[in-house]
Each structure stands twice: as structure tokens, then as C-alpha cells.
Chains A and B, each alone.
Chain A
Amino acid sequence: EVQLVESGGGLVKPGGSLRLSCAASGLTFSTYSMNWVRQAPGKGLEWVSSINSASSSIYYADSVKGRFTISRDNAKNSLYLQMNSLRPEDTAVYYCARSPTGRLDYWGQGTLVTVSS
């Protein structure tokens, strides 16, 4: 059974940093592209970033470009999101999701990031 478990969320002040992790099990992690998707309270889904299996293709939403960095460690079956210069509008539940080809087929349960003074 595929499992994706996010961690690392919490309360952080504006301008601060946070590193999210996503631990994968039940899949050959190294063969799949992975994504981060977020959802602000009461709002819709917003894609944040994608990384392919070899970390050779990386994409970011304009809203986080230059502040967030996606990475992965295939040996540890783990996906990461380094978030710097956090803003109140980054407050959201952050989900990691697997994407075989053009679809997000497995999602984690999410981790809440709150940016507030």
C-alpha cells in the first residue's frame, strides 16, 4: 500500500523558514515524479512545486519561486520542501503527491504551516 506521510509543519513568524518532509513507503520512490500542493484555509488547491525522479527537472509556482526549494533523497524515500522568507499568505496545509504521468495519484494527509507573528 502506498503511503505518503508529511511532517515538519508548524507555526513560524513572517520571514522565517521551515523544512517539510514527505516519507514514502509502498512504492518504488525513485521512479516517480513528486509534487507539493497546498491548500489555504477554506480555499482551493494550489500546486507549489514538482521534481522528477532524477531531480533533473524542477518546477515552481510563481508565488514561491526564489523562496522555496524542492529536493528529494531517493535512498531515503523522502521528498523535501525548504521554505524560506515565509509570508502570511503561505499559511496552508501542504500535501505531497506522487505523479506517474500527468496525474497526482497518491496524496499524503497533509501538514499545516501557519505563518503569523
Chain B
Amino acid sequence: QSVLTQPPSVSAVPGQKVTISCSGSSSNIGSYYVSWYQQLPGKAPKLLIYDNNKRPSGIPDRFSGSKSGTSGTLDITGLQTGDEADYYCGTWDSSLSAVVFGGGTKVTVL
């Protein structure tokens, strides 16, 4: 049971947009920045979004993040086959004194 709640899967055809939600509470998302990680099959996770909506160098602007209250959102526009991966949200939780992740969302390109 993950502290942050994500949908298990989302899917869309190439070129469309997918949205992944990440729901938390006041002790985590409500108080701290949200990060998003992309994990391609068989690979290590990679930072995709940090501080709610910032992209590291090299991450295309098709990926965007936002936060409202105790929820974060990752949008992927212009979906490509290479975007098929698992996506995780993460943040700090002050009640647990721990880094917490969502359970992960599998993105499938139909």
C-alpha cells in the first residue's frame, strides 16, 4: 500500500495526451515539492520532473507537471511509442520522515 496513490495504468494512441494523477496528503504533497520519475523497461528510474513543474536538462517539453493542494499531475502530450514506461511520483513525508513514492503508473501506447 503506497502512501501516494496513482492509477495503475493509462493508455492512449500515438500523438494523444495522457494525464497521470498522484494523490497524497498534507504531510507529503501538501507540504513538499513533487517529483516524477520515468522507468523504461529493464532500466533504472530517471528524473522527469522536479519541484512540481521543472524539467531537468534534456527532458522534452512534452512532459509537464503541476500540483494543486495535495495532488500532483504529470501530463504527457504528443505521446510516442518510446514513452511506454512506468511512471512514479515521489516526495518527502514529514509524518513518516521518509521519501515516499506512488505505486507507479504503466503507460501503454496503443
Residues of A within 8 A of B (CB): 35, 37, 44-47, 50, 59, 61-62, 95, 97, 99, 102-110
Contact = CB atoms under 8 A, between A and B. Distances in A.
B101 A95 contact: no
Given A35-B99, A61-B98, A102-B91, A45 B46 contact: no
A44 B89 CA distance: 11
Nearest to A100: B50
A105 B50 contact: yes
B35 A95 contact: no
Interface in B77-110: 86, 88, 90-92, 96-104
Main secondary structure of the interface of A (DSSP, over half): strand
A102 B56 CA distance: 14
Interface residues of B, number: 27
Interface of B: 2, 32-33, 35, 37, 39, 44-47, 50-51, 56, 86, 88, 90-92, 96-104
A91 B104 CA distance: 19
A79 B41 CA distance: 26
Contact of B51 (A44, A95, A102): A102
Given A44-B104, A102-B33, A107 B44 contact: yes
Main secondary structure of the interface of B (DSSP, over half): strand
Contacts, number: 63
Nearest to B96: A62
B2 A44 contact: yes
Contact of B44 (A62, A103, A105, A108): A108
Contacts of B96: 62
Contacts of A46: 101
Contacts of A99: 99
Nearest to A6: B44
